[in-house]
Structure 1
């Protein structure tokens, strides 16, 4: 448990072991600096020239493996997972665009002329969308296409299968927690389903279907599923996005248990669930999801549960948004892909932390704020907003003050603050908290305030 005297970075990296105590200390310090101001460049985040050069030496150290940096966070994440009956292990891939930079080892992105790399994490969240942390990650750069248009290097689809294998390996150590592997359409792969079956399906899988497969009886998967009457319907509010207003979505649900051909006379038993929007506003494309899972859904309640799980997949998009726009990882100028990987390992934890605070502020508003902020940070939030400090500050109260500093208005109809206003506000709070510490250490002598 985090205490007032223990920064969260120390707790999260308790088991860090990079082979040298000095490297361990440097990694923890870098995490504190980056968490204090995620949008800052490396020189700005560090305190002085000496610390800046030490940071660059850390990123340039070939003895430091990026997965070793993340290992203690992976362990802490698994510890948090033990408290939950179901944990969704969400996988997705995002492009990191470093176009225009001369970093060695980068490759083409979706557009061949762009240069960058790919990041593919496994993100653990609860069905209630509480982010528990990062469980695994792939980082790589593509090779250029040759003269025939073919691209060398490992087959990228393997990452989805290996991602499932990693979760399957973890399952026995979490006997009271049901793990659910979840991914979007890229993971609609028969080899993945076959691998899960070969392992005995120690973790469930739920993926968005991309292929309208032919069934053994000769008909098609989606037509078979929606051929009868819907089993029920669901209504939910789709949150506002950039350029798109929030709106209510009404969907009808169809569920069908099927046998999917797996080649050589083999089949994989699966449930296909189709959620199709009706009465969509004019000019708006109806929302339709086609899902595949190993789980059965014999009741409307079980079908609704699967839909709610899939909707939680959006949390990984929030993680990517924070990583790119709060941490500004695409602005890093570190010269090589290996240095970028080490920096990304640290920033993944920072991004999770912002998302974690945002979600807990909504779901557990009355938690003691001292479990997540040190006393100077709490004092700074109240001081900068000219608000009186209560005897026992609560998490949601402090987060809303932090978000106010980041542009959150807090009006009656504004709801709870989002990740962006929180990370912008955290910058102001950390600067003010640092000032308060300096004033306290100096005793206030000869300082004008």
Structure 2
């Protein structure tokens, strides 16, 4: 937090978004001292107000201030549309009991979003956030939820960069060479991540929006269509085929291919394409 705030130069324009591992009172206090901001998913039910109750108890007594409809997929890849009840309010958050002599209380905003009328077959969708940024309207609460939802995409991108492109295994000694390599790998990582998501967001888009003509021809030659993939739109069909090169089974009950099979498939397709183009030059 100190490093990023110093690098940016304008700490007030910096917002640190963290998962439950960041639910640390020292982090809240550090952000306050630096004049920067944070948005964290909470896992600790901290004492609040006069210390005689907790954050959860105070939020339970608050009224629902709005609804927010979201679309997502369940564990099997099926599409879900759920309505989240929004509760948000400003409150005094106290440090842990053992640290109250070292840290003062903070005035923070708490957001609780919980699924309305959740089915009994699964746990309700729920998200609890804490921030030092103002949340005085439904629009501001939804904005903070949207910011937090972007964290997963950023983590997925870095997972592809580390595990798929093996960025951490580079043995370059010069910093400038390592920076150039990472720049190239970032482009590759982003393409894999984008291919994974674009077929879910806009499945009716033409395959040429995501694949070159040569890639489409090779995928059609290498991967035999099943009854399941044949019914899919052209873009989704090619994404399935790329995933199949990486080990995706493409069964009717399978969720859409994930990043792991996509980067494996892209690695195989790139090698095959290099051999194909070299062979075409020799024969042409």
Q: TM-score, normalised by structure 1?
A: 0.46
Counterpart of 2:217 (choices 382, 389, 399) is 382
Counterpart of 2:40 (choices 200, 204, 207) is 207
Gap change, CA 1:289 and 1:405, over 3 Å in 2: closer
Gap change, CA 1:397 and 1:268, over 3 Å in 2: farther
Counterpart of 1:224 (choices 46, 52, 58) is 58
Question: 1:8-407 maps to which residues of 2 (within 5 A)?
Answer: 164-172=1-9, 179-201=14-36, 204-218=37-51, 219-241=53-75, 245-262=78-95, 263-264=100-101, 266-316=104-154, 318-319=156-157, 322=160, 326=164, 349=186, 351-359=189-197, 378-385=213-220, 401=238, 403-407=240-244
Paired with 1:379 and 1:230, the residues of 2 have a C-alpha distance of: 54
On the 8 A contact 1:380/1:432 being kept in 2, the answer is no
* Displacement of 1:401: 2.8
Paired with 1:222 and 1:288, the residues of 2 have a C-alpha distance of: 13
On the 8 A contact 2:11/2:34 being kept in 1, the answer is no
Paired with 2:241 and 2:108, the residues of 1 have a C-alpha distance of: 47
On the 8 A contact 2:65/2:86 being kept in 1, the answer is yes
Gaps of 5+ in 1: 1-163, 335-341, 387-395, 445-449
Counting matched residue pairs gives 249
* Displacement of 1:352: 4.7
On the 8 A contact 1:385/1:405 being kept in 2, the answer is no
Counterpart of 2:279 (choices 431, 439, 444) is 439
- Provide, for residues 74-111 of structure 1, a one-character-per-residue CA deviation record: whole Å limited to 9, x for no partner: xxxxxxxxxxxxxxxxxxxxxxxxxxxxxxxxxxxxxx
On the 8 A contact 1:402/1:426 being kept in 2, the answer is no
Alpha-carbon RMSD across the aligned residues, in angstroms, is 4.2
Which has the higher relative contact order, 1 or 2, with Cα contacts under 8 A spaced 6 or more apart?
A: 1
Paired with 1:284 and 1:362, the residues of 2 have a C-alpha distance of: 23
Q: TM-score, normalised by structure 2?
A: 0.68
On the 8 A contact 2:88/2:111 being kept in 1, the answer is yes
On the 8 A contact 2:243/2:257 being kept in 1, the answer is no
Paired with 1:397 and 1:181, the residues of 2 have a C-alpha distance of: 40
Gap change, CA 1:281 and 1:173, over 3 Å in 2: same
Gaps of 5+ in 2: 171-177, 222-232
* Displacement of 1:321: 6.0
Paired with 1:172 and 1:400, the residues of 2 have a C-alpha distance of: 47
The structure with the greater share of residues assigned to helix is 2
